Structure 1
Amino acid sequence: MRLANIWRLGIKELRSLWRDRMMVVLILWAFTGSVYVAATGIPETLNKAPIAIVDEDGSQLSQRIASAFYPPFFNPPAMIAQRDVDAAMDQGLYTFVLDIPPNFQRDLLAGRGPAIQLNVDATRMAQAFSGNAYVQRIIGTEVATFAARNGRTEALPADVAVRSRFNPNLTSLWFGAVMQVINHVTLLSIILTGAALIREREHGTVEHLLVMPVTPFEIMAAKVWSMGLVVLVATWFSLTLIVQGAMRVPIEGSVALFLLGAAAHLFATTSMGIFLGTFARSMPQFGLLVILTIVPLELLSGGSTPRESMPVFVQDVMLAAPTTHFVRLAQSILYRGADISVVWPQLLAILAIGAVFYAIALAQFRKAINTMA
């Protein structure tokens, strides 16, 4: 009877969700349009960065350097005077200002090792970080080519051969698309289960459940499996049709193994949604609780920033969060093609954390049910 009750209550939850059109629209958008927009909206390379050049040399080499900056990476360089540099930077007109000193070409050919000054507006973090390397590479290439044509060549003592594994072209679309799906698994599972509980309270159906021959365990288990199933199907749909189909992002590992890990993760996050739903008295209150919960879960899980770059205290605390292990499991499978022999520690950790979260949520849910009674 317990399994039958859990099954029937879960079907009731699915029907109730289907009648909530706004929630259905949210699920569809989160796993389709949101994934596509977020992934394609990340600039893959430097794009139309404003740059100005102070040419105090007026030589053939300085002209070659100035002509090497062109769209789409940079806007056409603006030639300005030295006295205008500070004012232009203060007004935020340029991200980069390149100052080529007098006699730069002559000193280079004489072997004196001249220097070029590059001023960077570091308040434009994205452009400053990636553009700095672009500018140095462009200048180095032009100077080396010019020096070689004029008989000055210096062989480097060693060469570095760079091979980027798992993402050879460093395409940010590959990372953004998959991580957006991973983040939505956590976000939607918490929202759906918590909203299902609050919807029961707002519609007055909790009182009906209290007089039925069902236990709090059965009510909670029904919400967990039904809402978890919705998120799991939406995740498979998004990975197959949006990520692999529309955006042509290669998935290296087994999607079935990833969905197994996602199901274990949903066991923990749906329990978390029930737990938050017992404290909230309305959807606005629940929304505030979700914000306070989901932001640290996603930012500190290692998906956006490597965990090794975080303080040791944060690393240790986040080991208690299921998202930390799920992000590592998902990236290992989807990016690096790992199998069960590699990700089983993360899978067990997620299941253990999920069991603890479920027990805590069930205790709080029983307490909330008794209060309503």
Structure 2
Amino acid sequence: MASLSNIRRLGIKELWSLARDPMMIVLILYTFTVSIYVAATAMPETLHHAAIAVVDEDSSALSARIVSAFRPPWFTVPALIDPAEADARMDRGESTFVLDLPPGLQRDVLAGRSPTIQLSIDATRMSQAFTGNVQIQRILATEIAGFVRRDEGVTRLPVGLDLRMRFNPNLEQAWFGALMEIINNVTLLSLILTGAALIREREHGTIEHLLVMPVSPAEIMLGKVWSMGLVVLLAALGSLAGVVQIALQVPVQGSVALFLALVALHLFATTSMGIFLATLARSMPQFALLLVLVLLPLQLLSGGVTPRESMPQAVQQLMLAAPTTHFVAAAQAVLYRGAGLEVIWPQALALLAIGSALFAFSLSRFRRTLGQMG
């Protein structure tokens, strides 16, 4: 009981120290609010309400069919304009795409000729310009081919393919970006907070005070682990509820409680890793350099940015020793697909094992560091 009381009091001391550090408070707030929102909405890889205008010089059934094919959420409702308005609308930024359907379009298509359709693109909007060009060409080809088949009286096949996207029916990039940013920021902030807490004590000289107190290295380390882990856990919960579900309107398929349990297991591993990095560094600049060397591989090779299946086999096997690999796989299964404990228990067990190993290794290094200081 005395040991638990020491761990509780040491953790509370860490929370008070964090509360008196305005830069860390700003970092926490930014990481789980603005950073999440920006990652979800800035520079989307997919089309989202791209502004399009159509010059319909044919006024036929085929041109009407083409115009009606451009619909939200990929495009805005097309604005029907005169040819003279096209350049002015693009200069004012009102339209990213202007599609000109020439007179006699339907007649030429039915006669087997190849009419020329003009598509003007505002290429200053680089992301939408590239993906929108491909999407518009696909829509045109699909609608013209469908119109020709209908006119020729070709019957449909008795079997058709009906595609349905799970979790994200419209394939909106914001839905993936917001949740993945939370998953990545849990790792980022837990490493920073625990490492900075230890280095801050060393720079302020308070670590020497702890050495003369009746507390063990394990109690000191556990105090930092639970307090900094609690801060990240609460920040992740607030971000998931406030930014993701309310501000961005992203639905969460699975159990939030199960996701938070996974976060707690992951924090046990990453906070221990943060303390280990802090024992290697002698100052905050050194810690920051070490953090870059460790954090980038953890995030880039864990499966959150690119699928693990596309990586070399050796990298896949090596990254099984990293907690982020199992955390990303389990968190995606819960948040995206609504998986339960019966599905993600292997990842949860791996997180517990890796976290225990990292804690034991970091504790050994922490004891040696304190012994050198004493």
Corresponding residue for 1:85?
none
Counterpart contact for 1:47–1:74, Cα < 8 Å: no
Counterpart contact for 1:48–1:74, Cα < 8 Å: no
**Structure 1 residue 45 and structure 2 residue 27: aligned?**
no
Compared CA separation, residues 116 and 292, structure 1 to 2 (3 A): farther
Q: Distance in 2 between matches of 1:334 and 1:312?
A: 27
Q: Report the Cα offset of residue 240 of structure 1.
A: 1.7
Q: Give CA deviations for 1:147-186 in whole Å, capped at 9, x if unaligned.
A: 357x435456553210111222222222222111111111
**Structure 1 residue 321 and structure 2 residue 326: aligned?**
no
Counterpart contact for 1:190–1:270, Cα < 8 Å: yes
Counterpart contact for 2:52–2:76, Cα < 8 Å: no
Q: Distance in 2 between matches of 1:183 and 1:329?
A: 13
Corresponding residue for 2:233?
232
Counterpart contact for 1:46–1:130, Cα < 8 Å: no
Q: Report the Cα offset of residue 321 of structure 1.
A: 0.9
Corresponding residue for 2:152?
152
Compared CA separation, residues 185 and 72, structure 1 to 2 (3 A): same
Q: Give the total of aligned pairs.
A: 354
Compared CA separation, residues 308 and 17, structure 1 to 2 (3 A): same
Q: Distance in 2 between matches of 1:201 and 1:76?
A: 68
Q: Give CA deviations for 1:315-344 in whole Å, capped at 9, x if unaligned.
A: 111111111111111111122212111111
Is 128-137 or 294-303 further displaced after alignment? 128-137
Counterpart contact for 1:328–1:346, Cα < 8 Å: yes
Q: Give CA deviations for 1:4-43 in whole Å, capped at 9, x if unaligned.
A: 2211111111110000011011111111222122212253
TM-score, normalised with respect to structure 2: 0.79
Counterpart contact for 2:63–2:106, Cα < 8 Å: no
Q: Report the Cα offset of residue 138 of structure 1.
A: 2.3
Counterpart contact for 1:46–1:73, Cα < 8 Å: no
Counterpart contact for 1:48–1:73, Cα < 8 Å: no
RMSD after superposition: 3.9
SS of 2:337 mapped into structure 1: coil
Q: Give CA deviations for 1:193-228 in whole Å, capped at 9, x if unaligned.
A: 000011011111111112222221111111111100
Q: Distance in 2 between matches of 1:370 and 1:131?
A: 65
The unaligned stretches of length 5 or more in structure 2 are 84-95
Q: Give CA deviations for 1:289-327 in whole Å, capped at 9, x if unaligned.
A: 112211221122112222222222221111111111111
SS of 2:253 mapped into structure 1: coil
SS of 1:9 mapped into structure 2: helix
SS of 1:335 mapped into structure 2: helix
Counterpart contact for 1:42–1:176, Cα < 8 Å: no
- What letter corresponds to residue 204 of structure 1 in structure 2? G
Q: Distance in 2 between matches of 1:113 and 1:299?
A: 47
Corresponding residue for 2:140?
138
Q: Distance in 1 between matches of 2:132 and 2:329?
A: 26
Q: Report the Cα offset of residue 288 of structure 1.
A: 1.6
* Identical aligned residues as a percent: 56
**Structure 1 residue 365 and structure 2 residue 366: aligned?**
yes
Pairwise mapping of residues 206-217 of structure 1 onto structure 2 (< 5 A)? Answer: 206-217=207-218
Q: Distance in 2 between matches of 1:76 and 1:287?
A: 55
Pairwise mapping of residues 86-235 of structure 1 onto structure 2 (< 5 A)? Answer: 109=110, 127-129=129-131, 131-145=133-147, 147=148, 151-155=151-155, 157=157, 159-235=160-236
Q: Distance in 2 between matches of 1:347 and 1:148?
A: 53
Q: Give CA deviations for 1:214-245 in whole Å, capped at 9, x if unaligned.
A: 22111111111110011111111111222222
Q: Distance in 2 between matches of 1:358 and 1:116?
A: 65
Q: Distance in 2 between matches of 1:271 and 1:76?
A: 61
Q: Distance in 2 between matches of 1:259 and 1:21?
A: 26
Corresponding residue for 1:54?
none
Q: Report the Cα offset of residue 265 of structure 1.
A: 0.3
Compared CA separation, residues 12 and 314, structure 1 to 2 (3 A): same
The unaligned stretches of length 5 or more in structure 1 are 52-57, 80-94
Q: Give CA deviations for 1:50-99 in whole Å, capped at 9, x if unaligned.
A: 99xxxxxx9999x959x96897599999x9xxxxxxxxxxxxxxx99x9x
Counterpart contact for 1:50–1:74, Cα < 8 Å: yes
- What letter corresponds to residue 34 of structure 2 in structure 1? G
Is 176-185 or 188-197 further displaced after alignment? 176-185
SS of 1:355 mapped into structure 2: helix
